[in-house]
Copies of this chain bind each other. A is one copy, B any other.
């Protein structure tokens, strides 16, 4: 356990410190997520337990789009001295990435389950309307962009909270721009968003599943996109698209997750627009 440390690439959620519980990673490629307070941790654990064994989940979907689940472990932490704290053990989906570029995008116009209690609904609804969730069907919860020269852009959460539609478009362009271009050249759009193993192809595969699956409704879950700025041109580019954060997953009860699906389609359109634009720029360039 000596090699446990806070993940370098964390862009949303609580960070681990002496005073705060937060996620940890190890050298074996595992990610330790402290059980969240209230019933959130229990619910997230219940989701992982149900999901990882569910016979109706296609193995390809589970493997491609969800972190692998390895049960729970009690871990001594500085924030809970003398009393080991329960953690959900998951695959570290960004393990092995030297220069991680990560975006955490919370999907869905509505982040509260329909049967949630009233004060929680009011709080979430206010946030969904203040951020881009209600308007776009998603919001950027966190982003970390590592450039080739070692420069890192890691905007404050307060900065991300205030962005509008144009701001979201800028972040999604900057995510695939070379760092010398002040974040606008979209030089990596074809490699990261486009192509067979790119973000767009992966999001479309996920969408096809969401058009059919009626098992789970993923309120307040995020899509985490990641790639290695040092290995973009490698085969496959190491582009990863995973769902994370399952503290508010409901049973689907035979109904599709129209809220997640709608937001996912909106994100797909934003990214497809950037790919198309970058492809036009490339073909009309010098």
Measured CB to CB, the residues of A under 8 A from B are: 109-110, 114, 125, 129, 134-137, 165, 211-212, 214, 253-256, 258-259, 261-263, 265-266, 268-269
Q: Which residues of B contact A129 (CB under 8 A)?
A: 114
Cα separation A269 to B214 with both chains bound (whole Å): 9
Listed residue (A134, A258, A266) with the most chain B CB atoms within 10 angstroms of its CB: A258
Cα separation A263 to B261 with both chains bound (whole Å): 9
Q: Could you tell me the distance in whole angstroms from the C-beta of A271 to the nearest C-beta in chain B? A: 12
Listed residue (A114, A259, A262) with the most chain B CB atoms within 10 angstroms of its CB: A262
Partner of A259 from the list B109, B165, B254, B255 (CB cut-off 8 Å) is B109
Across the A-B interface, the 3 shortest Cβ-Cβ residue pairs: A262-B262, A258-B262, A137-B258
Listed residue (A129, A134, A165) with the most chain B CB atoms within 10 angstroms of its CB: A134
B109 near A211 (CB under 8 angstroms)? no
Cα separation A136 to B255 with both chains bound (whole Å): 7
Partner of A134 from the list B114, B135, B137, B269 (CB cut-off 8 Å) is B114
Known: A110-B110, A256-B269, A261-B262. 19 other contacts (CB 8 A): A109-B259, A135-B255, A136-B258, A137-B256, A137-B258, A137-B259, A165-B253, A165-B254, A165-B255, A211-B269, A212-B269, A214-B269, A255-B269, A256-B266, A258-B262, A258-B263, A259-B262, A261-B265, A262-B263
Q: Is the interface of A mostly helix, strand, loop or mixed?
A: helix
Copy number of this protein in the oligomer? 2
A211 near B165 (CB under 8 angstroms)? no
Q: Which residues of B contact A266 (CB under 8 A)?
A: 255-256, 258
Cα separation A254 to B272 with both chains bound (whole Å): 13
Q: Which residues of B contact A165 (CB under 8 A)?
A: 253-255
Q: List 20 A-B contacts (CB under 8 A).
A: A109-B109, A109-B110, A114-B134, A125-B125, A135-B255, A137-B256, A165-B253, A165-B254, A165-B255, A211-B268, A211-B269, A214-B269, A255-B269, A256-B265, A256-B266, A256-B269, A258-B266, A259-B262, A261-B262, A262-B265
Nearest B residue (CB) for A134: B114
Q: Which residues of B contact A137 (CB under 8 A)?
A: 256, 258-259, 262
Nearest B residue (CB) for A264: B258
Q: Could you tell me the distance in whole angstroms from the C-beta of A245 to the nearest C-beta in chain B? A: 20
Cα separation A117 to B27 with both chains bound (whole Å): 52
Q: Could you tell me the distance in whole angstroms from the C-beta of A130 to the nearest C-beta in chain B? A: 11
Q: Could you tell me the distance in whole angstroms from the C-beta of A8 to the nearest C-beta in chain B? A: 33
Q: Could you tell me the distance in whole angstroms from the C-beta of A171 to the nearest C-beta in chain B? A: 15
Nearest B residue (CB) for A169: B254
Listed residue (A114, A125, A165) with the most chain B CB atoms within 10 angstroms of its CB: A114
Nearest B residue (CB) for A211: B265
Nearest B residue (CB) for A268: B211
